[in-house]
Amino acid sequence: MSVLKASAAAGQRGPVDHDIRSQIVEAADEHFSHYGYGKTTVADLAKAIGFSKAYIYKFFDSKQAIGEAICARCLGSIMETVDEAVAGGKSATDKIRRLFNTISALSVELFFSDRKLYDIAAYSCAERWPSSEAYVARVEAMLTAIIREGREAGEFERKTPIDEAARAIMMAFQPFMNPMMLQYNLDAVPDGANEVVSLVLRSLAP
């Protein structure tokens, strides 16, 4: 989780007062989830929370820094569940299924059960915020480790350069992982997502 934590800290400044910082993030999360991230200013947010704008700027240097913190928290919670799900896998094949099934199911739940959180997630992807880039990098690293494990166990082929294999799989799974793409594929979770995972597993077969 260290990469996500480091990125969450970007744009945060002033006294490291965990309580107030997370109080702001929590209130902002609540506020954005009602009114949307795009249309809210820091002034609106300050008014809603009951803090002065200047006080908020002691902790975050911009609205994006607050958005980043919300995003990092949300993606961090996805990664925690993914970590657990993958750890319970019985084989590399099983781990790949768990990895992608968990990601697509949780992404639908977190980004689309509340459309307003989709709003922040979309900004985060479109503008390549560090939180979102770090998340993708984390998933790709986890995937690479599982492929390596599967190769060592003889479950997967070994000819394709491992980086290429992982990169291509990440790309092929974008429709179910990237919130901006996922919004058009909500009907295809879980069935379509499962079919892509099966395709991925056939591509990994020795």
Q: Which is nearer to a copy of itself, 16 or 126 (CB)?
A: 126
> Is 193 strand, coil or helix?
helix
**Binding of a copy of itself at residue 199 (CB under 8 A)?**
yes
Of the residues 181, 186, 187, 190, which one makes contact with a copy of itself according to CB under 8 A? 181
User: Both ends of the chain: CA-CA distance in Å?
Assistant: 32
Binding a copy of itself (rule: CB under 8 A), the pick from 8, 116, 172, 189 is: 172
Of the candidate spans 32-40, 66-74, 134-142, 168-176, the one that interacts with a copy of itself by CB under 8 A turns out to be 168-176
Residues 29, 32, 38, 43: is their CA dihedral positive or negative?
negative
Closer residue to a copy of itself, CB minimum distance, 28 or 99: 99
The count of residues interacting with a copy of itself (CB under 8 A) is 30
For residue 120, give every residue at least 6 positions away whose Cβ sits within 8 Å of its Cβ, in sequence order, or none.
Answer: 32, 37, 67, 70, 71, 74
Least CB distance to a copy of itself at residue 182 (A): 10
3-state secondary structure of 37: coil
Q: According to CB under 8 A, which one of 1, 16, 126, 186 is a site residue for a copy of itself?
A: 126
H runs (alpha helix) in the chain:
2-9, 18-35, 42-49, 53-59, 63-87, 92-107, 115-126, 130-152, 162-172, 174-177, 179-182, 191-204
Q: Select the residue interacting with a copy of itself from 28, 74, 99, 169 (CB under 8 A).
A: 169
Q: Is 63 within 8 Å of 148 (Cβ atoms)?
A: no
- Least distance in angstroms from the C-beta of 24 to a copy of itself: 30
Is residue 171 part of the contact set for a copy of itself (CB under 8 A)?
yes
Interface residue list for a copy of itself (CB under 8 A): 125-126, 157, 160, 164-165, 167-169, 171-175, 178, 180-181, 184-185, 188, 192, 195-196, 198-200, 202-205
